[in-house]
Amino acid sequence: MASMALDFIRDGDIVGLGTGRAATAFVRALGQAVKAGLRVTAVSTSQVTAALATQLGIPLATLDEVSHIDVTFDGADEVDPRLDLIKGYGGALVREKIVAASSRRLIILVGAEKLVPVLGSRGILPVEIVPFGLPLCRRRLTELGCRPAVREHDGQPFVTDNGNYILDCSISPLSDPAAFEQAILGVPGVVGTGLFIGMADTVLVQDGDTVTVQQRRDP
């Protein structure tokens, strides 16, 4: 699937690089293409991905240094029939959303197991928060019907590349994801959610040896 995704890149493109297992496979494929002569400049969504891209010889730039991003490749944790997403199990949701919003096209790479009938089917929505706001955010998110838990790493709160915490919110399937996101964003201290509504243009789905392409259909 990663090699198939390369077909969406033109020589000279500015390419956004996601974070997570699917994105890592893509970055490795892109590194091979760059070594073979493909010219690109990449913008990374995380320090981990940036380190891998540097190791593979992929030229990197920051958002300050580019006028746009032609296409971003990333994974997702849930994809519904409208191609709306839940992301953030890898912890880079806010930077991923910023890069996606800066892109002319967002292409998502997933296995068939990530397809869900309704967002929230896997039961977890990551929400990035400012550490100072933890008590308030935890209380307000509970009032919204979430059951928030601070994500941990080695017994300590997981800290994002932005210096923030993530609350993994236990949720039920969402009847109105956009409205739910707006309610969460109204809580002081919330930086962003893992809901990516109306952002993905194309989803490549791998099921065994078969890869299918799904395109967003605007209403």
From 78, 96, 128, 181, active-site residue: 96
* pLDDT tens digits, 39-56: 999 999 999 999 999 999
35 is in an annotated binding site: no
* pLDDT tens digits, 22-37: 999 999 999 999 999 9
168 is in an annotated binding site: no
Give the angle subtended at the CA of 88 by the CAs of 53 and 171, to the nearest 5°: 170
Give the CATH number of domain 124-193; options: 3.30.70.260, 3.30.420.40, 3.10.129.10, 3.30.1300.10.
3.30.70.260
CATH class of 2-113+197-215: alpha beta
192 is in an annotated binding site: no
> What residue ranges do the domains of the chain occupy?
2-113+197-215, 124-193
Q: Is 96 an annotated catalytic residue?
A: yes
Q: What is the mean pLDDT of the chain?
A: 96
114 is in an annotated binding site: yes
Q: What is the pLDDT of residue 218?
A: 66
Name the token pair of 194.
Answer: 């893992």
pLDDT tier at 17, thresholds 50, 70, 90: very high
* pLDDT tens digits, 102-132: 999 999 999 999 999 999 999 999 999 999 9
Q: Are the C-beta atoms of residues 167 and 137 closer than 8 Å to each other?
A: yes
Q: What is the pLDDT of residue 97?
A: 98
